[in-house]
Amino acid sequence: MQRFFGLLPSGELTNETLAVMKRPRCGLSDVEPFGETIRWKKSTLSYRIASYNLPIPTSKVNKVFRAAWKLWSNVAPIKFRKRSRKEADIVISFHSGDHEDGSPFDGTGGILAHAFPPGFGIGGDVHFDADEDWSLKSSQVKSSFNLFAVAVHEFGHALGLPHSSDPGAIMYPTYNFAPNYELQLSFRDVKDVQHLYGISPNFASLFSKQPPPRTPDKCDPDLSFDAVTELQQEVLFFKDRFMWRKHPQFDEIGITLSSSLWQDTVPPYLDAVYENVERNVNVFFKGHQYWVLRQFNLEEGFPRNISDLGFPSRIKSVDAALHFRNEHYTVFFTGHECWRYNEQQKTLEGSPTLIEQQWPGIPTPIDAAVFYEGVVHLFKGNIHYKFDSNSKHVLSTGPANELLECKKNDDNEILTGRR
């Protein structure tokens, strides 16, 4: 009932809820129920930005909100029109503490913003906590929140979207903003808003080149990996912005954004990752750069160029890194070559060798490598090779995702939108 009447669906009998229950009703409304949720009935929605408490100059605030609405109007047939004075369907405002809607803000941190589901009056309104340190920058300042990212999420609520269980979705209930990467709606967000409002006539042409990103499915028989590494007791499998964590004590191997562990220190779409237990560091590779992290903190001076490791300038990236704890060296794979890096002397030893000689039976270039449970695991496309590095032969092959213990179930289909 609260949801229907444009109140935060807290389940509590607040004064506002009581007031709504007492209010006279008439049959005309701008909203209609849609299954469990409600949606706006009209296709052009007006919004107004209240001028008080603005944390940043008006012109910048206007730009951020216009861009946030555009993400939604690009995919669903809704138009958003800004109004300056007249009443608007959606009022956007900044408040601190109690602002008399039954859901007071809580100062710095905690709740950042909230939005009311579609409806008259306060319905669709979006409130931001004026006590947060709001940022606009694409490079993130610690402890500040990106106004654009939070606005896109709240506008989703204002359109009637609930939270999503897909960790790649903007509507997933954790703050995950990757600076330097263009924020986009995920495949799941797009499906959800199109389920409510239909498909924008521009959708096909706008997204034909770059469709909204899907969250990978560990049960996909075509799954391949960007990188695989050990991390203390776990094995981590990287793919796009995500990773799966295989922990010896947990039987469920879940997917998370890799930023959930490293925030914005390491980029998505990595090339290679390895752990050096002795030096207590993790090393990440992407393109010509590498990052060294000690206990989740970036070491000073990183990222650095891979040429600093001793690679000649013709090597533009690293495909995979394979660390041998006991022997104190790491093998880097680049194209059809591999290189041996001495971790104690911190130098590349000699010249590269051909993968087909050192690793017979392994096609090149490879995607990922890890030494785990006494065996070398190499990944190429959707195939996983177990390799014995002493006898130099392939022990077995299987699907790339065989270590992820895929248990096919409906949840997975719901999560990824695949059938």
Asked if 349 is an active-site residue, the reply is no
Q: Site mask, ligand TQI, residues 283-312, x = CB under 6 A?
A: ------------------------------
HSE value, Cβ hemisphere, 13 Å, CA-based, for 382? 8
Catalytic residue among 16, 154, 230, 343: 154
- d(Cα 364, Cα 380) in Å, to the nearest integer? 8
Q: Which helix (H) or strand (E) holds 191?
A: helix 187-197
If one asks whether residue 3 binds Zn ion (CB under 5 A), the answer comes out as: no
Q: Residue 10 touches which of ligand TQI, Zn ion, none (CB < 5 to 8 A by kind)?
A: none
Nearest one of 294, 331, 292, 339 to 314, comparing CA atoms: 339
Among 38, 113, 318, 400, binds ligand TQI (CB under 6 A): 113
Residue 257 interacting with ligand TQI (CB under 6 A): no
Rounded CA gap, 176 and 264, in Å? 9
Helix/strand/coil (H, E, C) string of 152-173? HHHHHHHCCCCCCCCCCCCCCC
DSSP labels, 97-112: S--SSS----SSSS--
Partner interacting with residue 236 (select from Zn ion, ligand TQI, none; CB below 5-8 Å by kind) = none
**Both structure tokens of 9:** 């669906």
Distance from C-alpha of 73 to C-alpha of 65, rounded to nearest angstrom: 12
Based on the shown chain and the rule CB under 6 A, indicate whether residue 112 belongs to the binding site for ligand TQI.
Answer: yes
Residue 150 binds ligand TQI (CB under 6 A): yes
Which of positions 152-171 make contact with ligand TQI (CB under 6 A)? 153-154, 157
User: Count residues contacting Zn ion (CB under 5 A)?
Assistant: 2
If the CB atoms of residues 175 and 296 are measured against ligand TQI, the closer one turns out to be: 175
Nearer to ligand TQI, 111 or 414 (CB): 111
Rounded to whole angstroms, the Cα distance separating 297 from 295 reads 6
Tokens of 410: 């409906």
Task: Specify the stretch interacting with Zn ion by CB under 5 A; choose among 101-109, 185-193, 370-378, 382-390.
Answer: 101-109
- By CB under 5 A, tell whether 240 contacts Zn ion: no
| Closer by beta carbon to ligand TQI, 174 or else 396 | 174
| Other C-beta atoms lying within 10 Å of the C-beta of residue 167 | 20
Residue 114 lies near ligand TQI (rule: CB under 6 A): yes
Say whether residue 175 binds ligand TQI (CB under 6 A).
yes
Report the nearest approach of Zn ion to the CB of residue 260 (Å): 17
The structure tokens listed for 318 are: 């690293």
Q: Is there binding between residue 147 and ligand TQI (CB under 6 A)? A: no
Residue type, 364: T
State which of residues 30, 101, 264, 402 lies at the interface with Zn ion (CB under 5 A): 101
Of the candidate spans 54-62, 75-83, 105-113, 292-300, the one that interacts with ligand TQI by CB under 6 A turns out to be 105-113
Overall residue count recorded for the chain in this entry: 419
Closest approach, Cβ 260 to ligand TQI, in A, equals 12
Residue whose Cβ sits closest to Zn ion: 127
Does residue number 221 form part of the binding site for ligand TQI (CB under 6 A)? no
78 Cβ contact partners less than 8 Å away, ≥ 6 residues apart = 40, 43, 44, 45, 72, 159, 197, 200
Amino acid at 270: L
Extract the tokens encoding 379.
Answer: 């990944």
Q: Which of 47, 45, 38, 1 is nearest to 23 (CA)?
A: 1
Q: Please say which residue, 112 or 122, places its beta carbon nearer to ligand TQI.
A: 112
List residues near Zn ion by CB under 5 A: 101, 127
The residues assigned a catalytic role are 154
Residues that bind ligand TQI (CB under 6 A): 111-114, 150, 153-154, 157, 173-175
